Chain A
Amino acid sequence: MLDDFLARAVLGAVGVALAAAPLGVFVVWRRMAYFGDATAHAAILGVALALAFELPIFAGTLAVAVVVAFMVAKLTGRGFGADMILGVASHSALAIGLVAVAFAQGPRLDLQAYLFGDILAVGKADLAVIWGGAAAVFALIAWRWRALLMATVSEDLAWASGGNPDREGRILMLALAIVVAVAIKVVGALLIGALLIIPAAAARPFARTPEQMVLGAMGLGCLASLGGLWGAWEWDTPAGPSIVCAAAILFALSLIAKGGRGA
């Protein structure tokens, strides 16, 4: 089955959707959307460095995503306006990455594949990386689940109950870097943020507890992946953007459904 490129594409897309969901809800709850973008854009620089030093793409993107996430968090914690720092970081990371790729470029690099994803080229090794990354994100977030929730609800209450919300923030940054590194092949650096946020947003109207929202985001993310791939196959459209389009349609439907119930 894994010899069929379409089967690999489906498994890859579903794996990324599952990895993105438990982190995506935190990105939404903690208003880290811009933060997610900055980290994802930095991954292009990771691609360039990986090529220059002949490292696996996964290692390069993961390393750069971690460094940028922690650097931005440090700067925003120092009293700079968070929005301003993120704006600077997000666009600079992308621009520096694009310039660096131009320097590192060999004849084999298809930049578009890293900006928008190239899911039909997902190989068996990529699948291993995607599902391994998804498992790591799951394990991290499940392990810290209540502490992460507490820190998200109120940092002061977390401190008062003996927790350390700074540490929980670092765990989320690590999980974010992993998601970026596994998702870049599937949806590309520019649309990773969409995959984090839109399924979580679409699940919100139907959730009464945080756990329900994660499960909803997982389900809707998988649905968007399958729907997007089907659309890409049917109409010969780029797969990554098609998946995000499908997620956007699900979000619109969830808004309508919520409006209809008057909830």
Chain B
Amino acid sequence: MSRLRARRMTTLVEVKGLTVRVGDRPVLDNVNFAMQPREIVTVVGPNGSGKSTFLRSLIGAVKPSSGKITRKKGLRLGYVPQGLRLDPSLPMTVDRFLSLPSPVPAETRAAALEEAGAAGFANQQIASLSGGQLQRVLLARALLNAPQLLLLDEPTTGLDQPGQAAFYRKIEEVRDTLGCGVLMVSHELHVVMSASDRVICLNGHVCCEGHPEVVAQAEEYRALFGTGTKGALALYRHEHTHHHHHEGPCDAG
């Protein structure tokens, strides 16, 4: 009982029966979810499965049609969007961008840029950054308030493979230094499997959920991601769990 209570006290965010409709179409249907500190949770799912909508409802950008989202009192939130479509007519340096919507001390800005691997970008125009540089700047922005919960929406879109790997290592580092919970949406299944404590497989509703190994074996997961990814998954398991006898078809290896 007291253990349960303690868990409730530390829960960063709790989602109960979340349903989001766009017009008549339910994008999310009765989603239940809770997030603890220091957890890295990844949401996977096919296109249009409501992954981004789920994240956007957690930041308050999407209003639930029904259900409830409860944040821990005074929760500090960091959000890294999929990218930033800044109109080229808007002049904006990285430093200025970090001071929106409220002023941030110069040392804090510099420290966040350093932490995110974006030191030296401060005076560059946002529009002149490459995809990878922009992602790091967006991460720096999310770190400014030392978040307790970090939300990332496909943060490595447009990065090459080494870039992706480096970015996810960075996220783990951040989790270790800040002790924050990390919730991210990702397409890179093999990376996801190695970096996450928990995987949620979403397709409008939660299909399956649990430890990456468990989810990878789940029928619902295999039904969604089909044979196309089986090779990659098998490859991953081959690399990271060192079971040298293959359990599935492993032609890709």
Contact = CB atoms under 8 A, between A and B. Distances in A.
Nearest to B126: A153
A209 B89 contact: no
Classify the interface of chain B: helix, strand, loop or mixed.
loop
Given A146-B102, A149-B101, A156-B59, A31 B87 contact: yes
Nearest to B85: A154
A192 B141 CA distance: 37
Interface string A25-56: 00011110000000000000000000000000
A30 B87 contact: yes
A153 B90 CA distance: 9
A156 B101 contact: no
Given A153-B90, A209-B92, A210-B96, A159 B61 contact: yes
6 contacts: A29-B89, A153-B86, A154-B84, A156-B61, A159-B56, A207-B91
Interface in A201-218: 201, 204, 207-210, 212-213
A150 interface: yes
The 9 A-B pairs at the shortest CB distance, nearest first, are namely A160-B79, A150-B101, A159-B61, A160-B59, A29-B90, A150-B100, A207-B91, A159-B60, A146-B101
Interface residues of B, number: 27
A29 B99 CA distance: 18
A161 interface: yes
Contacts of A156: 56, 59, 61, 79, 81
Interface size classification for chain A: 20 to 34
Classify the interface of chain A: helix, strand, loop or mixed.
helix
A253 interface: no
Among A29, A79, A156, A209, which residue has the most Cβ atoms of chain B within 10 A?
A156
B97 interface: yes
A209 B101 contact: no
A200 B89 CA distance: 9
A257 to B, nearest CB: 16
Contacts of A146: 99-103
B11 interface: no
B89 A201 contact: yes
A21 B59 CA distance: 33
Contacts of B97: 153
Given A29-B87, A159-B61, A153 B81 contact: no
A83 to B, nearest CB: 16
A163 B60 CA distance: 9
Contacts of B141: 157
A158 interface: yes
Interface in B52-111: 56, 59-61, 77-79, 81, 84, 86-87, 89-93, 96-97, 99-103
B23 interface: yes
A152 interface: yes
A126 interface: no
B195 to A, nearest CB: 22
Contact of B101 (A30, A161, A201, A207): A161
Nearest to A29: B90
Contacts of A161: 100-102
A30 B85 CA distance: 11
Contacts of B84: 153-154
B30 interface: no
Given A146-B102, A160-B60, A153 B91 contact: no
